[in-house]
Structures are given as C-alpha cells and as structure tokens.
C-alpha cells in the first residue's frame, strides 16, 4: 500500500512553516476521499493520530462515530472518552473482557492470517470495533495508522538519533514505511474486513507520505523536549484543531493502551487449565504455542 518505489530526497533546508503548510495541504486532500460518504466510523484511542483522523473525518462525513474497543481499566478507557469530549465528538465504547476475547480469539487468528502473539493482540480491538461498527450500520472505518513510521513516533528512533545521528533515523523511517503495508496494514485490513467493512488509511496517502519522508529527522525528534518524538505531526494536529493536551501527550502501543495484551493472558489463564500454574516466563512460550495450535 505504501506505493512509493523510490525513497524521497530529504529537504534539509525546509522551514517548519513550509513543512506544515505542505503537510496540511496534502492531508486535507487525502480526506476529500470521504466526500459523499454518509456514515463513517473512526478507530479511536484518544491519541493524537486517531484524534486528528476523527476531526478531519467529521469535516467531510457528517455522521461520524468514534469507536473505542478496550478492556476495563485500560489506558484507552479513560483517555478516549476524555479526548472525544474535548473535541465534542460522539464515542461508543466496546468492552473486551476475558470471556468475549476467548470466544472471538479463533476468528481473530484466522482472519488476520498470522498467529504471532503481537499481531493477535493488536488485531483484537480492531476486530471488536469493526463488529460493533457493522451492527450500527457503519460500513467504512477510518484508521489513523501511519504517523509513527512517517514522523518518528517510536522510542527506537530517538535512541537511533542519539547513538548514530539524523541520517540513520531517516534511513530507518524509509525502511519501516516501505514494509508497513505487509507488516501492519494488511493485518488491520483483515481484522476489519472479517466483518465485511472497508478501511481507509488517510495518513498513508502517497503525497502526504512523500512529503513526510522529505522532512529532516531534526524536525521530528528533539531529545531535549517532552514529548521528544513525532513533533512535526503534533504541530500539524494542533494546526488542524486537535487540542494541545491531546496532541502533545505520548501514547502507548495499541496492545498495551487497549489492555488486550494483559487481557489475552487473563483469558487464557481462565480457560486453559494447563496455564494456571505457570511462571511468567513459562506463560510467554505457552501462549504462543496455544495460538499456533488454534484450529
């Protein structure tokens, strides 16, 4: 899906204002794809990515619904509701507990065509959100995936800059973006399309992605700031209306913020007798073995 065959040339003389103007233009053009859509659901966690996706979706699709699939007590349970309220957007919470996860687990595994534990944990909230979306008559889901690979959102990029410099970060961003379709996007599409829904990834628009990858890493990472990463995207989000509190708050990975990583353990402990007495280390191997053998 990345669609970019050749790596864009980094524009080291571009100013932050020029970068923001170009990013804004291309992102708004990407969202015009939603013109004429009557009902749109947004995968929503309350982080900067999904918040910007929600605001721009609402601009083009009047009936916009935010969907948060999470476990009780998770980070997303509190943050998503607060963020939606702060932007005056309607949100529906989908609870994932040990029983519902256990019942859905075989479907999730078969739909995403991989049994790797991390992929399963990430796909679970998307699967639940898509099922709820279908029940409510929303057949198009908007996903905020992409900014972490385009604007250096992961901690490893900051570490790489400190240890090896900006050019190594820029090389890593291109390498990661080049494989994100196979590594991430196809998994998400499969989890959502299991319920017959279409998915739209506005941040993977070719012009927007190309522009992002021309930015020097110094515009995205500053180890002396907090947050230190994804700085240009956060500025873009605020320029387009995302409240500063949301735009500048770091967020954990989906499987941790939604609570599905922890809930998978609880679900298997509750339903698989042989896992109840295992140590933490033994459990890690046992969980992957169980996923490998789901029929």
pLDDT digits (tens, 9 = 90+) for 282-294: 998 999 999 999 9
> What Cα–Cα distance (Å) separates residue 211 from each residue in 31, 50, 274?
16, 20, 51
Asked whether the CA dihedral 214, 235, 42, 72 is positive or negative, the reply is: positive
- In terms of DSSP bridges, do strands 39-43 and 198-200 run parallel, antiparallel, or are they unpaired? unpaired
pLDDT in tens, 140-195: 999 999 999 999 999 999 999 999 999 999 999 999 999 999 999 999 999 999 99
E-strand ranges in the chain read: 39-43, 63-70, 91-95, 140-142, 198-200
Residue 198, C-beta contacts closer than 8 angstroms, at least 6 positions apart: 139, 140, 141
Q: How far apart are CA 147 and CA 156, in angstroms?
A: 15
* For the chain, domain boundaries: 16-292
Task: Tell me what pLDDT residue 2 has.
Answer: 55
Task: Tell me what pLDDT residue 62 has.
Answer: 86
Q: 3-class secondary structure for 148-159?
A: HHHCCCCHHHHH
Task: Tell me what pLDDT residue 1 has.
Answer: 52
Cα 185 to chain centroid distance, Å, stands at: 10
Residue 271's region, left for phi above 0, alpha for psi from -120 to 50, else beta, is alpha
Task: Tell me what pLDDT residue 106 has.
Answer: 98
Q: How far apart are CA 112 and CA 70, in angstroms?
A: 19
Tens digit of pLDDT at every position of the chain (295 positions): 557 888 999 999 999 999 999 999 999 999 999 999 999 999 999 999 999 999 999 999 989 999 999 999 999 998 999 999 999 999 999 999 999 999 999 999 999 999 999 999 999 999 999 999 999 999 999 999 999 999 999 999 999 999 999 999 999 999 999 999 999 999 999 999 999 999 999 999 999 999 999 999 999 999 999 999 999 999 999 999 999 999 999 888 899 999 999 999 999 999 999 998 898 889 989 999 999 999 8
- Please, is 230 exposed, middle or buried when counting C-beta atoms within 10 Å of its C-beta (0-12, 13-18, 19+)? buried
Q: How far apart are CA 90 and CA 69, in angstroms?
A: 14
Order across the sheet with 63-70: list the strands.
91-95, 63-70, 39-43, 140-142, 198-200
CATH classification for the domain delimited by 16-292, as one of 3.20.20.70, 2.60.40.10, 3.40.50.620, 3.30.450.20: 3.40.50.620
């Amino acid at each position: 899906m990345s669609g970019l065959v050749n790596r864009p040339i980094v524009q080291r003389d571009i100013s932050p204002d020029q970068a923001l103007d170009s990013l804004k233009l291309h992102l708004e053009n990407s969202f015009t794809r939603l013109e004429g859509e009557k009902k749109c659901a947004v995968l929503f966690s309350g982080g900067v990515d999904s918040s910007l996706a929600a605001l721009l979706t609402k601009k083009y699709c009047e009936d916009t619904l935010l969907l948060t699939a999470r476990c009780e007590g998770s980070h997303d349970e509190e943050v998503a509701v607060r963020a939606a309220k702060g932007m005056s957007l309607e949100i529906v919470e989908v609870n994932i507990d040990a029983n519902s996860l256990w019942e859905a687990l075989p479907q999730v595994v078969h739909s995403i065509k991989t049994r790797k534990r991390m992929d399963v944990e990430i796909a679970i909230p998307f699967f639940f959100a898509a099922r709820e979306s279908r029940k409510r008559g929303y057949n198009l889901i908007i996903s905020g995936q992409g900014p972490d690979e385009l604007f250096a959102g992961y901690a490893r990029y900051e570490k790489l800059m400190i240890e090896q410099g900006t050019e190594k970060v820029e090389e890593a961003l291109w390498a990661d973006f080049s494989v994100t379709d196979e590594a991430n996007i196809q998994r998400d599409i499969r989890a959502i399309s299991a319920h017959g829904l279409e998915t739209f990834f506005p941040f993977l628009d070719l012009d927007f992605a190309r522009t992002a990858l021309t930015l020097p890493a110094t515009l995205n990472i500053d180890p002396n700031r907090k947050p230190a990463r994804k700085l240009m995207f956060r500025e873009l989000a605020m320029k387009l209306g995302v409240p500063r509190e949301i735009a500048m708050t770091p967020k954990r990975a989906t499987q941790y913020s939604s609570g599905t990583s922890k809930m998978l353990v609880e679900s298997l402990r509750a339903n698989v007798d042989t896992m109840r007495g295992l140590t933490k280390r033994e459990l890690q191997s046992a969980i992957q073995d169980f996923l490998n053998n789901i029929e």
